[in-house]
Amino acid sequence: MFLLIFCGVGAQQKESTPFTNPMMWADVPDMSIVRTSNDFYLISTTMHLMPGAPVMKSKDLVHWEIASYVFDKLTDTPSYDLNGGTVYGRGQWASSIRYHNGKYYVLFSPNDKPFRAYIYSTTDPSKDKWQLVTRTQHFHDASLFFDDDGRVYVFSGTGSLRELKSDLSDVKPDGVNMTIFKRDSEETGLLEGSQVIKHNGKYYLLMISWPNGKPRRQVCYRGDNITGPYEKKVILQDNFAGFPYCGQGCITDDTNGNWYGLIFQDRNGVGRVPLLMPVRWVDGWPMLGDENGKVPLNWATPLKPYDSGKRIVESDDFSDKKLKINWQWNHNPVDAAWSLTERKGFLRLKTSRVVDNLFAAPNSITQRMEGPKCSGVVSLDVSKMKDGDVAGFSAFNGDAGVLSVVMGGNKKYLTMAGNSVSLENSTKAIKGVKVDEKARIELTRKVIYLRIDGDFNLNKDLATFYYSYDNKNWQPIGTEYKMIFDYRRMFMGSKFAIFNYATKALGGYVDVDFFNYNRIQ
């Protein structure tokens, strides 16, 4: 166990201050949390984005920054490289993070072939690289659990319990392998999103539930023994702030014995956002929300506020020797086709493969979009593009609003269009892309500034598009674009994406001077 010490300009510790839910208005689903002393570590899902399995850290449960990623790339199939298919909506799914005997552990199972799970470990998520411990059998939405007697288990699926060997190398052949409960007549579909704690000698399994004719909700299964029997209770059922149901997440305590819940809520185009709420222990059940069982809109920061000044989405002028930790590539990057050193202070994106659409393009680089409103600006030097090259800036998802600089012969054009991808259900291979161009103008400068504004307020989910030649005078282009969350395709919230790809021949590149970001309250 260790204590992280923050220091330097920007770190602030103030008296208790209020915050407004969601405490992160961005796509941070499938949360699992662990606490060591006063430090909280939270892991989330980013599927086809690389590096993956982001681990965030906080001291007050309100202010979060990215500490590390569990892995740089996944290489199970060529589809992770956008070769022979894609892994949109697949890759790393719901994970669990645990601390045991001086090490942190993460377990996750990619939702694609080969169906196997990964277990990684590190001694410090903020400083040390995560190391692969083993590959073992696939566990859907799994929760790793170290019991007090030294035995190790995995809860997964709908009530599945499996014991692992003590060294985590594989399942224990003669260990526990059973279903601890079955779905009752009130439920439909899977109960999933397992997260497990042990409190006062009892085992608590938190899961999401789809009851017949009712909204999604959070339930808890409780047992005196790890193998059961288990009884069930609904611990949260709330539509919050006009958006739909809340469900799936985790609970944690602090050093004073207070308990808190982090549960996500589907918020359409921005994705699945985390909500922070109190946990009230009532008759031995961890009831989520305020005294009325509702998610609080405004609440005092539950612990002494600590703001390091770092955020999960940040601007970048590309002047460092490495990318800021906030960036993720769409699928595995082609490392030879991007550089921070070939032109100092710029991110160079080279074409590396001839493709015919944005969704098949390697080396699109992304950050989350955030609510309630946000704005992103990129500066592109497009002077070295080749005939057939397409570069630009997107509100990226299965339905993407796209600003594209298109090189046609010796001329460049700026277009605004909607791009909607169709994916084969089982392989996620791209079947086609519907392009709906709304505007096209000829460009006469080698440097262009592109801006996308996002509005994720209730019933909005709109992206608007602008361009400028001086980063001061902005001209709207095209139309508003409705951003959509679609679990059948990408299964994540909209992202800012900077891209460059070739449709005819290789050899071109663009230089990105900066990405400037502003979240608007």
pLDDT in single tens digits along all 521 residues of the chain: 333 323 333 334 445 689 999 999 999 999 999 999 999 999 999 999 999 999 999 999 999 999 999 999 999 999 999 999 999 999 999 999 999 999 999 999 998 888 899 999 999 999 999 999 999 999 999 999 999 999 999 999 999 999 999 999 999 999 999 999 999 999 998 899 999 999 999 999 999 999 998 889 999 999 999 999 999 999 999 999 999 889 999 999 999 999 999 999 999 999 999 999 999 999 999 999 999 999 999 999 999 999 999 999 999 999 999 999 999 999 999 999 999 999 999 999 999 999 999 999 999 999 999 999 999 999 999 999 999 999 999 999 999 999 999 999 999 999 999 999 999 988 999 999 999 999 999 999 999 999 999 999 999 999 999 999 999 999 999 999 999 999 999 999 999 999 999 999 999 999 999 999 999 98
State the pLDDT at residue 11: 39
The per-residue DSSP string of 39-61 comes to EEEEE---BTEESEEEEEEESSS
* Best CA proximity match to 85, nearest among 326, 329, 360: 360
State the first-to-last Cα distance of the chain, in angstroms, to the nearest integer.
37
Does residue 292 come out as left (phi exceeding 0), alpha (psi in the -120 to 50 range) or beta? alpha
State the pLDDT at residue 281: 98
State the pLDDT at residue 214: 87
pTM value is: 0.95
The strand pair at 131-137 and 143-146 is best described as unpaired
State the pLDDT at residue 299: 92
CB 197 within 8 A of CB 285: no
The strand pair at 202-209 and 328-330 is best described as unpaired
CB 420 within 8 A of CB 401: no
Count CB neighbours of 185 within 10 A.
6
Count Cβ atoms within 10 A of the Cβ of residue 213 and give its class: 0-12 exposed, 13-18 middle, 19 or more buried: exposed
CB 333 within 8 A of CB 362: yes
How far is C-alpha 421 from the chain's CA centre? 20
Count CB neighbours of 304 within 10 A.
12
* Best CA proximity match to 43, nearest among 116, 123, 128, 104: 104
CA distance 487 to 142: 19
State the pLDDT at residue 8: 32
| DSSP letter (8 states) at residue 343 | T
CA distance 133 to 131: 6
Which domains occur in the chain, in start order?
Answer: 31-247 (2.115.10.20), 328-520 (2.60.120.200)
Which residues, in sequence order, are CB contacts of 70 under 8 Å at separation 6+? 43, 51, 52, 53, 55, 92, 95, 106, 108, 120, 130
State the pLDDT at residue 1: 32
Tokens 């608590």 sit on residue: 204
The per-residue DSSP string of 394-457 comes to EEESSEEEEEEEEEETTEEEEEEEEEEEEE-TTT--EEEEEEEEEEEEEE--SEEEEEEEEE-S
Tokens 């769409």 sit on residue: 330
- Judged by DSSP in three states, 79 sits in helix
State the pLDDT at residue 10: 36
* Best CA proximity match to 85, nearest among 73, 76, 96: 76
